[in-house]
Amino acid sequence: MNQYNPHHFIAAGRNALPVDAGGLPWTGQYVFSSGNLILDLLHNFFLENTARTNKLRVYQMTKDPAAREMLGYLFVRGGVHAVAYGKALEKLTGVKMNEMLPIPRIGNAMFPEAKKYMDMAIHTKLYRQSPEDYRQMDQIWDGAHPDGGMCTVVDGPPMELAGSHVELAGIGSAFAPDYHPEEVFEMAQKLYKKAQNK
């Protein structure tokens, strides 16, 4: 049970709600959309680094390995977003934004949970899923990455991470039973009807 905000459990059980750690709901006022491209990019650059700062504090608050594993991955991929906005700003204005990274001044490589993804060069890759769209992405995502390596656009999903779901195989409660969807649905209906007849 949530020790900070009992409302979360009362309203949502184990479901997620779009609220912050203090229970305040997300608000449309968080969306910045000025119509000025440089200002909008600057806001996103700022936002990615704010997210990083907050995530560093969450890392500091928990020793839970699952949480830290997720944070390590997010440090690396969130870094891709920050660097991409910085590169876009540099292309348009000539200002070398990325020289102020990382914010805060603690590199991703210091966290073992992030370092392992950097060793796989995950921080240098932008994935393109559509066969036709976003073809000009490499106009912005190119050149050196501030954490080392060259920025590359990859066609298709991140295959180097593909095997990681297998890790769940041994954990009973996480392993989905080998039923066809229709069977699962049928069982749900039967359980429901049974409950109804109580």
Structure token digits, residue 109 = 């490589």
Query: How many residues does the structure list for the chain?
Result: 198
DSSP character for 176? P
Helix/strand/coil for 158 = coil
Does the footprint of a copy of itself cover residue 19 (CB under 8 A)?
A: yes
Helix/strand/coil for 100 = helix
Considering only 92, 120, 150, 187, the residue that binds a copy of itself (CB under 8 A) is 92
- In order of 36, 117, 119, 132, the CA distances from 90 in angstroms are 16, 26, 26, 26
Considering only 64, 120, 129, 135, the residue that binds a copy of itself (CB under 8 A) is 135
Considering only 65, 99, 172, 176, the residue that binds a copy of itself (CB under 8 A) is 99
Q: On the CB side of 73, how many CA atoms lie within 13 Å of its CA?
A: 8
Does the footprint of a copy of itself cover residue 130 (CB under 8 A)?
A: no
Considering only 28, 65, 131, 170, the residue that binds a copy of itself (CB under 8 A) is 28
CB 116 within 8 A of CB 80: no
User: Binders of a copy of itself: how many residues, by CB under 8 A?
Assistant: 72
CB of 156 to a copy of itself, least distance (A): 14
Residue range at the interface with a copy of itself (CB under 8 A); choices 57-65, 70-78, 118-126, 158-166: 57-65
Considering only 67, 70, 103, 153, the residue that binds a copy of itself (CB under 8 A) is 103
Residues whose CB falls within 8 Å of the CB of residue 156, separated by 6 or more in sequence, listed in order: 127, 128, 129
Residue range at the interface with a copy of itself (CB under 8 A); choices 13-21, 117-125, 151-159, 160-168: 13-21
Nearer to a copy of itself among residue 163 and residue 170 (C-beta): 163
Does the footprint of a copy of itself cover residue 14 (CB under 8 A)?
A: yes
CB 145 within 8 A of CB 83: yes
